[in-house]
Amino acid sequence: MTSRFKLFIFLIIGLLVSVVTASCVTMDSQAKLHSGFSVASEVLPSCDEPLFASKGSVEVADLSAAQKSSGLNPDSIAFLNWNLYKGDGDDWQRDLNNFAGDHDVLTIQEAFLDEELGNLLIAHALGWKMNTAFHLNGTAAGVMTAASSDAIRSCGFLTTEPIIRIPKSTLVSYYRIDGLEQNLLVANIHGINFTLGMGSYQQQLDDLYAAVKDHKGPMIVAGDFNSWSDERMLAVTRLMDNLSLNALSYEVNNKTHVFDHAIDHVFYRQLEPIEKKVWQVTSSDHNPISVRFRLVDASSKQTVASSDIN
């Protein structure tokens, strides 16, 4: 089967899915933020305006008492990236419960903010921010970043799928690191999927670059990039290079692949991975990526492992 024919079938499936779900989906004109387990939402701040000074930090005096006392450990930041498949997979609660207990920061795509997910995160004392892409049968769905430390600030944006017209969301959050002035930036992206060309996909990556380019501190950019073609992966690689990000390498690459391309990625800078694993699960159509980082000096030289972008 040729790649062009595979793409045609892929787009047809996407259109069928959109027809089935369209009657159940409602959308907002602006990106909406859920913070903690709350039915209420508010307009998510745009990333157009810089949240902090160019040094990438916020003054301690500006923080709440909770934020001042609960930064991330610079010697051990356990990170997980996972597309949760809107909780449609079997035993996702069991798997997420295990992951939530072992990780400090989780970037989740296709999060479905029902009571079950909210209570699970509460049980692990994880706070979260969520950029709602749409509501499915009245329940918010989008990208969520959960962490053991409160986010100092968050911003984000929506990108509408050109064919199925359902948005994908991107969320940028900042976290304190104990003993340091600089903050950790964590960007969580769900890449648009069903397009015939590269224009909309490239624009989403350009918007992400604009949102994070002024941050001078450590950074993690992760998510389901839907990088299922050579052209898409080349665009992701350019983004990675422009932000001086590093990629992870694996002796055995169990990451989820579409058309022989990995679609989930974790990129980083000013951090050193000390443990990494891709978990094979049946509770989602994506395998979660787990990394334990420690902070390194910004002047340290790190090598991009290009083998990860296959």
Q: What's the rounded Cα separation, in Å, for the pair 203 and 195?
A: 12
- 193 Cβ contact partners less than 8 Å away, ≥ 6 residues apart: 14, 161, 168, 226
Higher pLDDT, 251 or 254: 254
The two tokens of residue 176 are 């304190």
Fold of 3-309: Deoxyribonuclease I; Chain A (3.60.10)
Distance CA 270, CA 268 (A): 7
Q: Got the DSSP string for 201-245?
A: HHHHHHHHHHHHTT--S-EEEEEE----SHHHHHHHHHHHHHTT-
Percent over 90 (pLDDT), the chain: 66
Question: Which runs of E-coded beta strand occur in 65-164?
Answer: 77-83, 105-112, 127-136, 139-147, 151-160
What is the structure's pLDDT at 308?
54
Q: Please, what is the average pLDDT of the chain? A: 85
Using one digit for the tens of pLDDT, what is the confidence trace for 110-143? 999 999 999 999 999 999 999 999 998 889 999 9
HSE at residue 240, side-chain half, CA atoms within 13 A, is 22
Query: What pairing do the DSSP bridges indicate for beta strands 42-43 and 32-35?
Result: antiparallel
90 — pLDDT class (breaks 50, 70, 90): confident
The tokens describing 265, both together, are 């990625």
CA–CA distance, 128 with 69 (Å, rounded to integer): 17
Q: Does pLDDT of 41 surpass 90?
A: no
Residue among 237, 225, 292 at smallest CA distance from 262? 225
Give me the mean pLDDT over the 72-77 stretch: 97
For residue range 157-205, what is the model confidence (pLDDT) as tens digits?
A: 999 999 888 999 999 999 999 999 899 999 999 999 999 899 999 999 9
Contacts of 105 (CB under 8 A, 6+ apart): 72, 77, 78, 79, 80, 145, 146, 147, 148, 175, 186, 220
pTM of the model: 0.86
pLDDT over threshold 90, residue 226: yes
- pLDDT tens string 299-310: 444 444 444 555
Does 54 score more than 60 pLDDT?
no
Q: How far apart are CA 110 and CA 92, in angstroms?
A: 13
Which residues are CB-contacts of 180 (< 8 A; sequence separation ≥ 6)? 71, 74, 295
Write down the domain spans for the chain. Answer: 3-309
Cα gap 209→97, rounded to integer Å: 32
Q: How far apart are CA 76 and CA 79, in angstroms?
A: 9
Between β-strands 77-83 and 105-112, what pairing exists: parallel, antiparallel or unpaired? parallel
Percentage of the chain modeled with pLDDT above 70: 79
Average pLDDT over residues 214-230: 97
